[in-house]
Chain A
């Protein structure tokens, strides 16, 4: 890397804040599209959260080294959820080069090395050591204050992660109890009674991590029951669930409770944790040597709420449009795992995977294109598909497109109706098509009410929207006759065939 720091203060079309996977993917994609931009980061090196987390365990996203497609291919993205996206084949799948063995999920430091390799080899320029400190509006510009000076831009993209420790407002539960302060080595928790507040990934991760060090008692507690259906199918199952398994089988000193935390009292040499279980009249009281709040993180939104950025989930995430623009502050965009706040159609309650690199890398690429078109005024070449190519093209996308198989129900291949065929609009959030006006078709993969994966195709003809759920396939291959015929039938009016 050159010693000259890039992106001095000044005027840019777009300013990106952050150098984790979201910031790197956005910076890379804006660069490829030739958009005038700057990338700023408070850190001194790329990697974001992966420079420190997860504390104990490997990532929960897979990289299958032995996949049967070339690592440089687009199809490999479905086998490799952790590498950032590149147009150049030699810059793809860079996390694979960091993995020491055939274990399917990278360790934290392998992920960090993969991101660093991407930043270096793709020459993603970032002004490191330049924290964003303040934001204000000035006419049609945003002004971002940093110690180096002011950055003016027409659109600002915040890829700041979920990095601020968050604890709920419970008397006695403090930031000092947060997951980030857990000690990962040695005998810190040996022979101790530990209460972990929370029952999501980080709670089970810490529980598993410290169980290895001779814990006397472990209790996990939060109001929401663990989502067992989801956990049973999740990559957490084999690694994190010892505590739950032992609770279910009645092991003394292992408890997983559904109760709300009333207060935490500090006493001589320990804590008293007061719980309220809505199904019982009498309160529950636990004595503990340590309390760990595995209660998650919030996006460090700084002064953005003063600009009108509306938030959800206890103010932890910004409320977003389908294209990741702030609800309440147009021109303010988000990238990275904060994009999980855009929920999409959320059919049957299924959320996007925008909280994971595999999902938000696509969001960032789509956002960069959206900014290139709307802010930088760059038109992209649009491919027109002849009528007879439309159905085979859509089937191939349903069969192979990694965007669709990863961001189920959130991203879709969208074609717009045109004379003599259809125009490829690219991969877009499904909601953009469904709630739009234009005639066309959007093909996606979704979980149905029984959590079976099936292709679903939405078409709009003369303003009328149709939804067609196609049958599932046991090997998830959607190129057979049944799919072709159903699509031909659905699209006949759009393709001028009747």
Chain B
């Protein structure tokens, strides 16, 4: 996918809905796209050094102690909790299809969110919804 296409894809995602075009292009240009084969692991439970992933295409499953808890599809994101708290990821995330993600490396996430407060608000809204729905998880 070229950078322009990635920016267009980002524009369709709620997370980035408030960004103007040059900002979208800058985001698409600043962070790498990573592709995972079906079955490949993206995040690993208990292993340090993760990143923040936004799903551009495909589906990923969240597996805790070998049990699938939920799935992430296009526009959803993961990895922010361990990145922001410094804890190790509490789940494996595994590609269930060919999976394309935008990747914000752990050390860059804080600066990225601070420089894009509208994205931070969208992340916060999503976290609030996840918290509200957390009884479905546990």
- Which A residues are within 8 Å of any B CB, using their own CB? 168-169, 222-225, 258-260, 276-278, 310-315, 319, 321, 327-328, 343, 345-349, 434-435, 446, 448-449, 465-467, 469
Contacts and interface: CB of A to CB of B under 8 A. Distances in A.
Given A277-B22, A347-B49, A223 B30 contact: yes
Contacts of B41: 435
Interface stretch (B10-18, B100-108, B129-137): B100-108
A24 B92 CA distance: 38
Contacts of A223: 25-26, 29-30
B87 interface: no
Interface in B37-53: 37, 40-41, 44, 46-51
18 contacts: A168-B3, A168-B4, A224-B26, A224-B29, A259-B22, A260-B25, A276-B25, A319-B37, A343-B34, A347-B49, A348-B49, A348-B106, A435-B40, A446-B49, A449-B107, A465-B46, A465-B47, A467-B48
A346 B47 contact: no
Nearest to B19: A278
Closest 8 CB pairs of A and B: A349-B105, A347-B49, A319-B35, A276-B22, A223-B29, A314-B2, A327-B37, A278-B22
B33 interface: yes
Contacts of B105: 346, 348-349
- Where chain B touches its partner, the secondary structure class is mixed
B33 A434 contact: no
A496 B2 CA distance: 52
- Where chain A touches its partner, the secondary structure class is loop
Contacts of A319: 35, 37
B68 interface: no
A260 B47 CA distance: 36
Interface in B47-66: 47-51
Interface of B: 1-4, 20-23, 25-26, 29-30, 32-37, 40-41, 44, 46-51, 98, 103, 105-108
Among A168, A277, A343, A346, chain B packs the most CB atoms within 10 A around the CB of A346
Contacts of A258: 26
Contacts, number: 93
A260 B19 CA distance: 15
Contacts of A449: 49, 106-107
Given A434-B47, A449-B106, A465-B46, A315 B29 contact: no
Nearest to A280: B22
A321 B46 contact: no
B23 A278 contact: yes
Nearest to A260: B25
Given A168-B2, A314-B1, A315-B1, A347 B48 contact: yes
Nearest to A314: B2
A252 B76 CA distance: 46
A467 B35 contact: no
Contacts of A310: 35, 98
A349 B106 contact: yes
B107 A349 contact: yes
A447 to B, nearest CB: 9
Contacts of A345: 44, 47, 49
Contacts of B1: 314-315
B37 A349 contact: no
B136 to A, nearest CB: 28
A383 B108 CA distance: 43
A211 to B, nearest CB: 25
Nearest to A325: B37
Contacts of A328: 37, 98
Contacts of A446: 49
B25 A313 contact: no
A299 to B, nearest CB: 14
B29 A467 contact: no
A169 B2 contact: yes
A347 B46 CA distance: 13
Contacts of B22: 259-260, 276-278
A467 B46 CA distance: 8
Given A168-B3, A169-B4, A315-B2, A469 B48 contact: yes
Contacts of A349: 51, 105-108
Nearest to A451: B107
